[in-house]
Structure 1
């Protein structure tokens, strides 16, 4: 998969503060679901804002499809039609009177003709399963509905990369499952999704790749491999995912062959328990 958005040698510090990121290299690969993990204060939010153009690195470069980003109006417009960030608290992002008005804000800001704006709004509302809420005042939405509306506003920009900051935080289990199904549908339609989360079990289950943000930099690899690195997990202030621990136990007990993937969720473990046992290998003779 090609590198779609790349930071090289990026450093950033807030005014009168220490460096939050220093010489960071980070890549978003097209078509891969990427989980971004790290302890509080590790720079996850800063990194997401650098990737989406909300902040500009003090040193280093940001490129999109190999082209350096310029921070003038034209360059930022190009970046924001490629990369969209949805912040953790939807109330920081919603401001219009109704759901449809809020979702239409980005496309209108691009100067698109009204028919295309309407098409994008309808498409985004349908993608997030909130078409019925189009005329609902935003202040009357539930927390989960506000989350979906904020994501729909980003989807209406038709970005190639959608970055979500803790999108499942505050949702009940049913709300989490519905949102994950929505993200899977967006991925199937060609959107690359980056999710910042503290939930290592969710990252293992959902992501193709995981990036652990540590004091020594970002360490990215296939989710099952990266999330099994206890040294990196310790640096990132994270625990071993449940699925990795279960897989190690199943391998140790001979219930999985070496190299056979293990369960990433309790449901997958339950399915393994119901599966018929492999027939014994007959003895020679």
Structure 2
């Protein structure tokens, strides 16, 4: 896979107190500029992995590195990590706490001790990136679910991380809300942010991601999304179904309607535009 390794877990293990190991000897990489989908069954350790990447948890064994340098779990080291990696959890209500949207988004930059002018600039930039500038003064308790999602992501974006880790960001959104969020993520990527998205939606992963990581009992298996999401063996082990586009591509090939080397359609629109044999 192309791209510089920005953040990596090397031989990482973790268990919660009095519990069995959640992850054991895990190797996992986030490469610069690659949209990465993280998939696995419930209880496979996706949330734990994301919290390890962002410094919310510390591995019991192994290490977390940023550009090859081990992370140090003191105040200075964690501050440096959080300017590189930001995690947005699945439920925005677990992340929002300030009275207004603008105040909530400003919390991270203020904690970095930045000058007021820099904080205001970052807040304005993040609100614009998430298309919620008009909500800056809106009380957070009056926001819709989709607006709360965007506000939580804006708070992370205001930290200007190089890696943005999102836990099920499209969950609970209607189709229009999902499309708008995906367009926003595309804009963030175009501006240099590497995005990692945990999702159960294999069709979304196939459509959106450059790479896919399937979390199984034997570890994380990562590669180009089109290849990994066609691996029936790994999908079964990860508790996932075959993506719609892969199944359609196989059917077309079996009927002699699609060349062997042609890419599978990722969306209904791509299927409609497909030039079959």
Per the normalisation by structure 1, the TM-score is: 0.95
Q: In the alignment, does 2:46 pair up with 1:44?
A: yes
C-alpha distance in 1 between matches for 2:127 and 2:146: 14
Residue in 2 aligned with 1:242?
A: 244
C-alpha distance in 2 between matches for 1:188 and 1:28: 17
Question: How far apart are 1:252 and its partner, in Å?
Answer: 1.9
Residue in 2 aligned with 1:14?
A: 16
Question: How far apart are 1:255 and its partner, in Å?
Answer: 2.1
Question: How far apart are 1:254 and its partner, in Å?
Answer: 2.3
Residue in 2 aligned with 1:283?
A: none
Residue in 2 aligned with 1:222?
A: 224
Question: How far apart are 1:253 and its partner, in Å?
Answer: 2.1
Question: How far apart are 1:24 and its partner, in Å?
Answer: 0.4
Residue in 1 aligned with 2:111?
A: 109
C-alpha distance in 2 between matches for 1:12 and 1:137: 38
Gaps of 5+ in 2: none
C-alpha distance in 2 between matches for 1:183 and 1:243: 22
State the SS of the aligned residue for 2:26: strand
**Count of matched residue pairs:** 275
C-alpha distance in 1 between matches for 2:141 and 2:248: 43
C-alpha distance in 2 between matches for 1:139 and 1:268: 40
C-alpha distance in 1 between matches for 2:68 and 2:16: 27
Question: How far apart are 1:167 and its partner, in Å?
Answer: 0.1
> Could you report, residue by residue, the CA deviation over 1:191-248 in whole angstroms, capped at 9, with x for unpaired residues?
0000000000000000000000000000000001001111100110000000000111
C-alpha distance in 2 between matches for 1:21 and 1:221: 20
Question: How far apart are 1:250 and its partner, in Å?
Answer: 1.6
Larger radius of gyration: 1
State the SS of the aligned residue for 1:6: strand
Gaps of 5+ in 1: 279-285
Residue in 2 aligned with 1:148?
A: 150
C-alpha distance in 1 between matches for 2:110 and 2:146: 25
Structure 1 stretches of at least 4 aligned residues deviating more than 4 Å after TM superposition: none
State which of 181, 184, 188 in structure 2 corresponds to 1:182. Answer: 184
Q: In the alignment, does 2:72 pair up with 1:33?
A: no
Residue in 2 aligned with 1:267?
A: 269
C-alpha distance in 1 between matches for 2:183 and 2:258: 29
C-alpha distance in 1 between matches for 2:20 and 2:182: 36
Q: In the alignment, does 2:88 pair up with 1:78?
A: no
Residue in 2 aligned with 1:282?
A: none
Residue in 2 aligned with 1:23?
A: 25
Q: In the alignment, does 2:233 pair up with 1:231?
A: yes
> Could you report, residue by residue, the CA deviation over 1:176-200 in whole angstroms, capped at 9, with x for unpaired residues?
0000000000001100000000000
